[in-house]
Amino acid sequence: MESSAQILLTLGGILLLGLATDILGQRTFLPRVTLMLLFGIAIGPAMLDLIPAVVADRFELIANMALLMVGFLLGSRLTRENLRRSGKEIISISVSAVLGTALLVFLGLVLAGVPVEIAILLGCIASATAPAATVDIVMESGYKGYFADLLLAVVALDDAWGLILFSLGLALVAALAGLDGHSAPMLVALQDIGGAALLGVFIGLPAAFLTGRIRPGQPMLVEALGLVFICGGIALWLDVSFLIASMVMGAVIANLARHHEYPFHAIEDIEWPFMVIFFVLAGALLEFSSLAEIGLIGAVYIGCRIVGKVVGAGIGGRYSRSGDTISGWIGLAMLPQAGAAMGMALVAINLLPEYRQVVLSVVISTTVFFELIGPPFTRLALQRTANNIKGGEGNKN
């Protein structure tokens, strides 16, 4: 069969499969993200092996397109209004969740007899979350109250803090290992995050004022997609974080484009097909068999990461006087973990190849675990907080 026919048949089948998961998600306790991952595993190489290589080879492109839209939507949550209303909560919870998770995973692994260098790396990697899964669960749930807005804003910053912490940890491990040029990871992080932020501002400033002029007050979908893809393409070309670049661009447009909000609604309207393909292929490409190989290190990592997210976010919530409802549930809502953790792991093993086997086996297997069990907890948190927190009452229980 020709490759074009394989691609079209596979994508068509995946999109119809996504429709089925949407229907099932409304009738079961599992969110559609988890269902799509499970379906992906079922049709992937581990089981039925129905995904042709020509489609699997294009997963990176599909993933980048989906994550660019996610970053753009997350950036739209970082408006002056939201930051004035809950800026202290957003920063406090995101920083506390990252630090609490990294510290607890590090201590747990050291107590389990893991070398300090590996414990540092895995502790930093554990701080990462999964913005794509979180955005999709919030959109699927239909909850648009204070907790949902706060969660999306926290997740938007969480991976940025996690990347900074990982860079610090990588530099520390390189120093402990006696590698020359151990300060390089910090320079890479500065280029990655700072360069991405500058790129987002550079594109976002003119876009905020120029979009929406062809059709007054309602910029076309073409404009929104053009901005997102150009931002992502330049970010990848410059080797900076395309997720942070698109997030900063979205924040700039949301804060400065007073004559419209349509770019974000336009992206929301077409994001779903990309997300379906992204999550099904992600499930198909997950190394599910690696779950059996995690052993004690993986079990400690999983347990400490769960406790670290819940306790860390809870401490941040109480410090910012968010109330018991937010403090108690926000950490559970942040359990999904995906691509950012894998990216960190690949960077770590490139610098320190002697830790390749243990780092990759733990990160891959636990990513599978959290990709499957994290989304149900996120949806549960949204359901439990929906009746307790109303818009504008974020500091009330």
Give residue limits of the domains in the chain.
42-386
Helices (H) and strands (E) in the chain, counts: 17, 0
| C-alpha–C-alpha distance, residues 276 and 295, integer Å | 32
Residues present in the chain in total: 397
| C-alpha–C-alpha distance, residues 77 and 81, integer Å | 9
| C-alpha–C-alpha distance, residues 258 and 240, integer Å | 29
Residue that has been written with the tokens 């069990």 in this structure: 373
pLDDT tens profile 339-381: 677 777 777 777 777 777 778 778 877 877 888 888 889 888 8
CATH class held by domain 42-386: mainly alpha
5: its two tokens: 């026919």
pTM to 2 decimals?
Answer: 0.75
Whether 286 contacts 371, CB under 8 Å: yes
Element (DSSP H or E) covering residue 252:
helix 242-256
**Which of these, 239, 232, 201, lies nearest to 343 by C-alpha position?**
239
Average pLDDT, integer, range 280-298:
70
Residue 13 has pLDDT above 90, yes or no: no
105: its two tokens: 């995973």
| C-alpha–C-alpha distance, residues 195 and 39, integer Å | 37
pLDDT grade, residue 103 (50/70/90)? very high
280: its two tokens: 């099904």
**Which of these, 109, 122, 107, 106, lies nearest to 296 by C-alpha position?**
109
Calculate ∠ Cα 162-356-181, nearest 5°: 65
Higher confidence at residue 243 or residue 26?
A: 243
DSSP label at residue 144: -
Whether 297 contacts 362, CB under 8 Å: yes
**Which of these, 272, 273, 270, lies nearest to 12 by C-alpha position?**
273
Average pLDDT, integer, range 331-346:
81
Please, which residues have CB within 8 angstroms of residue 220's CB and are 6 or more apart in sequence?
A: 214, 266
